[in-house]
């Protein structure tokens, strides 16, 4: 097993690669500028963490001391005139430090391109690859196009555009061909090269089994997500600058991130060889196709525990899952209405009210509004409020409460309900109680994951009513607990 250094451990690929290397017995050292960003990750305690900036030759040389395999997963996504020179300087500093430290191999994840006029983003990645290939340490450069997985900037842009726009007017790049690859296959290649013997110094193209246009991927995503077929109209007038601002306007992906991605889409990104399989063999079942990769990326959204997956910083998860270090706009849209109230009522009394909620006991805010919502649900074929409760005081997992179902219960602490009403998305209501010093804190979260444009419109349309319905619940529950 090798001593591996991973740069960019707080990034999309690095944060997923570290647990893969650990699982295969490698010793992992993470080189980061801000160690505090790793503290909530479940694997952080099993790694060696060093503080260094790749632009600092002394700190970088020290970080690489005793390292056999160094993963370089640093790349600036922002725009401006300085990002390419910063990438160049960091790569040269890292290469020189790796030479001085006697590193056996550098592994760099770069961008796949067709060799034509490259975008600044792809051009900088190609330059970094050349720096490593020209240094004295053997380097393996893996060139990938669109990586499919929750948290990948390219995938998030694809996800958000397809989810939010049933009809899209798009630039001509929508017809550029690309060869997307599942994040699981990317990690398998990266991890595999830590154990490959001998000196290898070259680039390898890596991609999945499907060659698609961006329009094909949008339609494929819609199918995998259960959305209606998207109508895509390509027009020649949208420049990369306009396109990036358009993406920033209709999705949570910042325009500064969208622009380099959009500029890169004008290049065809299809693999010209598959030589990597001679060193890191393909799985028996073959590489993961686009549809399965999207399904895996969406899997945790479809599973019942999505509410905790988005809120827990310690869930290990799979490579396709969101991570705490992912940006806020990654992992799909999630709307949360959070309310907290500190009080002097014993936590046991508050919990008793929480566990007795619904049915004949009601929902402690605007009962007429709850009845109207139940009636509307019945009209569209839902269950409405007719189910009530099995027991007026006690709950267990799987119990129905009106149009909710108990998904999780931690006696005295947490009740999470999953909505079973007819909705354009998935919804949860989470009620919890805890002690903070000599005070009891009641917390309430209404969580909604929209399905398509209708889901986003649904949440926004009801947002004013949430302030009335959910806003009154905390105080009413505390008052009820105090008077019990």
Q: What is 3-311's CATH number?
A: 3.40.50.720
Tell me if 132 sits within 8 A of 72, measured CB to CB.
Answer: yes
More confident residue, 380 or 307: 380
Instruction: Look over the chain and give the mean of its residue pLDDT values, rounded to a whole number.
Output: 85
- Mean pLDDT of the region 90-113: 95
Q: How confident is the model at residue 250 (pLDDT cuts 50, 70, 90)?
A: low
Q: How confident is the model at residue 221 (pLDDT cuts 50, 70, 90)?
A: very high
Query: Who's near 215: CB < 8 A, 6+ residues apart?
Result: 170, 174, 175, 232, 234
Q: Any idea where the domains of the chain sit in the sequence?
A: 3-311, 335-483
Q: What is the DSSP string of 224-247?
A: HTTPPPPEEEE-S---HHHHHHHH
DSSP-derived letter for residue 143 is E
pLDDT at 244: 60
The residue to which tokens 């149009």 are assigned: 403
pLDDT at 259: 65
Q: At residue 308, does pLDDT exceed 50?
A: no
User: Rg of the chain's alpha carbons, rounded to an integer?
Assistant: 25
Instruction: Look at the pTM and tell me if it is higher than 0.85.
Output: no
pLDDT at 414: 94
Q: Identify which of 69-83, 300-314, 365-379 has the greatest average pLDDT.
A: 365-379
The highest-level CATH class for domain 335-483 is alpha beta
> Does residue 305 sit in helix, strand or coil?
coil
- Of 442, 421, 429, residue with least CA distance to 341: 442
- Of 94, 97, 203, residue with least CA distance to 140: 203
d(CA 449, CA 159): 13
More confident residue, 255 or 8: 8
User: Is beta strand 3-7 parallel, antiparallel or unpaired with respect to 27-32?
Assistant: parallel
409 phi, psi to nearest 5 deg: -145, 125
- Helix, strand, coil: what percent of the chain each, to 5? 40, 20, 40
pLDDT in tens, 401-431: 998 999 899 999 999 999 988 888 888 999 9
Q: At residue 361, does pLDDT exceed 60?
A: yes
3-state SS, one letter per residue, for 386-429: CCCCCCCCCCCCCCEECCEEEEEEECCCEEEEEECCCCCEEEEE
Helix axes 367-379, 452-483, angle to 10 degrees: 140
pLDDT in tens, 116-172: 677 777 888 899 999 999 999 999 999 999 999 988 888 888 888 888 888 776 767
Q: How confident is the model at residue 312 (pLDDT cuts 50, 70, 90)?
A: very low
> Does residue 150 sit in helix, strand or coil?
coil
148: left (phi over 0), alpha (psi -120 to 50) or beta: beta
d(CA 451, CA 424): 5
pLDDT in tens, 386-401: 788 888 889 999 999 9
């Amino acid at each position: 097993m090798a001593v591996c250094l991973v740069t960019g451990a707080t990034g999309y690929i690095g944060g997923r690669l570290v647990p893969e290397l650990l699982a295969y017995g490698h010793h992992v050292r993470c080189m980061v500028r801000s160690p505090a960003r790793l503290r909530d990750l479940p694997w952080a305690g099993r790694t060696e963490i060093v503080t260094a900036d790749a632009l600092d030759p002394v700190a970088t040389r020290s970080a690489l001391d005793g390292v056999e395999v160094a993963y370089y997963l640093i790349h600036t996504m922002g725009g401006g005139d300085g990002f390419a020179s910063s990438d160049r300087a960091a790569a040269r500093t890292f290469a020189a430090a790796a030479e001085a430290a006697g590193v056996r191999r550098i592994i760099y994840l770069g961008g796949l391109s067709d060799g034509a006029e490259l975008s600044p983003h792809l051009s900088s990645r190609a330059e970094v690859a050349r720096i490593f290939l020209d240094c004295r340490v053997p380097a393996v450069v893996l060139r990938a196009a669109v990586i499919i997985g929750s948290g990948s900037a390219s995938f998030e842009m694809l996800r958000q555009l397809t989810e939010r726009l049933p009809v899209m007017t798009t630039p001509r790049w929508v017809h550029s061909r690309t060869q997307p690859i599942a994040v699981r296959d990317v990690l398998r290649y990266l991890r595999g090269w830590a154990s490959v013997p001998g000196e290898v110094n070259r680039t390898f193209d890596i991609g999945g089994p499907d060659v698609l246009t961006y329009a094909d991927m949008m339609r494929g995503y819609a199918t995998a997500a259960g959305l209606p077929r998207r109508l895509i109209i390509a027009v020649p007038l949208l420049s990369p600058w306009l396109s990036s601002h358009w993406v920033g306007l209709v999705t949570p992906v910042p325009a500064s991130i969208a622009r380099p991605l959009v500029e890169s889409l004008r290049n065809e990104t299809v693999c010209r060889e598959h030589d990597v399989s001679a060193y890191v063999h393909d799985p028996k079942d073959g590489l993961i196709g686009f549809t399965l990769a999207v399904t895996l990326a969406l899997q945790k959204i479809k599973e019942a525990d999505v509410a905790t997956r988005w809120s827990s910083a310690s869930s290990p998860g799979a490579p396709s899952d969101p991570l705490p270090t992912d940006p806020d706009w990654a992992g799909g849209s999630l709307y949360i209405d959070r309310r907290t109230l500190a009080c002097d009522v014993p936590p046991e009394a508050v919990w008793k009210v929480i566990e007795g909620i619904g049915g004949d006991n009601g929902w402690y805010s605007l009962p007429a509004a709850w009845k109207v919502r139940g009636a509307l649900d019945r009209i569209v074929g839902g269950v409405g409020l007719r189910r009530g409760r099995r027991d007026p005081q006690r709950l267990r997992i799987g119990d129905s409460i009106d149009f909710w179902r108990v998904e999780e219960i931690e006696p005295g602490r947490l009740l999470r309900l999953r909505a079973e009403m007819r909705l354009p998305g998935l919804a949860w209501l989470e009620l919890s109680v805890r002690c903070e010093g000599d005070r009891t804190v009641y917390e309430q979260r209404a969580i909604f994951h929209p399905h398509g444009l209708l889901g986003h419109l649904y949440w926004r349309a009801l947002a004013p009513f949430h302030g009335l319905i959910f806003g009154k619940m905390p105080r009413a529950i505390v008052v009820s607990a105090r008077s019990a």
